[in-house]
Amino acid sequence: MTALSTRPAARDRTKLAVIDCDIHTAPATKQTLGKYMPARWRQHHETFGPRGPGGAHYPRANQDAARTDAWPPSGQPPGSDLDFLREQLLDAWGIEYGVMNPLLGAGGQLNLEYGAAHARATNDWQIAEWVDHEPRLRASIVVPYEDGSLAAAEIDRVGDNPAFVQVLLSIRTSEPLGRRKYWPMYEAAVRHDLPIGIHFGGAGGGPITGAGWPSFYIEDHAGMPTAFQSQVISMVTEGIFEHFPTLKIVLIEGGFGWLPPLMWRIDRAYTHLREEVPHLQRRPSEYIRQHFWLTTQPMEEPPAGEQFHQLLHHLDMNDRLMFATDYPHWDFDAPDQAFPTRIEPPLERAIMAENARGLYRFGQLGR
């Protein structure tokens, strides 16, 4: 068990507290993760390496999808140098806590046993090279999510370590996330009282849009909310929140502007089609507002300020929005510039830090 201080040094009190819910740490070299694998898997890692379904990666405009100023002087990849991450992110913005969401591919491996070994290595690496050295950082449990029981085993292995504050999936999976093959993973998350964070990206093997394969990265990027929409609909209609009434889901980097009309539409459909999904006891929007949290970056920015306030009003989830930078990626949000318009101070405090503090229980449970 890792000992963590409950709260880093007090910040300048005149400034807003900031909790960053989406930081992408990366290994320094291809060999780094191998150090955290047993010999059998290290050899596989070095000899064969990763293999997932294609399609996840449309070439980004920037190498490693990173801000071009995020390459550390050490020459390591963006997000891999703790000193530089402190300087460019944690210290630069006075970030109180940061949640790491390493996107290293464990979850999408076709070789499930290798995916499990990759996930274990990624999790041990997050503790050994990050949380143990930097009390502001917290980790996410990476899991081989296409196999519910392997994923559950990894949650059980590390889930009691307070350094881990959620389980991490990618939004594009092989099947919609409400399907039963994923339930053992939810059961384990509930057992350890950990939210499931689902991040932008991934590949499940199918075309990355509901209309086939697109030509451009901008389509991949701008179209990503459609994957989030399908997953929200699946998780609600399959009844997982009836089965796991304490399950919490965090949608990371998916935006939220699309969610109000989705709730309107699905609630309307439910009045006609309730009989098809008799296991639902409540309107779909009620499950959504009760079980989902959303990170801000990148948020939809309507052209006029009052439209953003209307959007928040339609969403009616002010206690569920959580600030994220997405550092070091190219669509990083600067903590002092993230909103398209002025936000009332109490709501600003909630979004910038307090909603995340409550969900992840920073300062409690040894976190």
Report the 3 state secondary structure along 62-83.
Answer: CHHHECCCCCCCCCCCCCCCHH
Q: Which stretch binds another protein (CB under 8 A): 137-145, 306-314, 333-341, 348-356?
A: 333-341
Cβ closer to another protein: 171 or 338? 338
Per the structure block, which two tokens stand in for 22? 């989406």
CA 111 to chain centre: 23
Which of 331, 349, 361, 367 lies at the binding interface for another protein (CB under 8 A)?
A: 331
Which of 218, 304, 334, 365 lies at the binding interface for another protein (CB under 8 A)?
A: 334
With CB under 8 A as the rule, give the number of residues binding another protein. Answer: 14
DSSP letter for 135, please.
Answer: T
Number of H helices, E strands in the chain: 12, 8
62 binds another protein per the rule CB under 8 A: yes
Contact between 186 and 247 under an 8 Å Cβ cutoff? The reply is yes
Q: Which of residues 86-105 bind another protein (CB under 8 A)?
A: none
Return phi, psi of residue 23, to 5°. Answer: -120, 130
Cβ closer to another protein: 14 or 337? 337
Q: Torsion-angle region of residue 338: left (phi > 0), alpha (psi -120 to 50) or beta?
A: alpha
Which of 9, 10, 69, 278 lies at the binding interface for another protein (CB under 8 A)?
A: 69
67 binds another protein per the rule CB under 8 A: yes
Cβ closer to another protein: 18 or 142? 18
Q: Nearest distance from residue 303's CB to another protein, in Å?
A: 12
Which of 193, 242, 316, 336 lies at the binding interface for another protein (CB under 8 A)?
A: 336
Q: Give the Cβ contact number of residue 203 at 10 Å.
A: 18
Return the SS3 of 362.
coil
Which of 54, 61, 180, 341 lies at the binding interface for another protein (CB under 8 A)?
A: 61
Enumerate binding residues for another protein (CB under 8 A). 61-62, 67-70, 330-334, 336-338
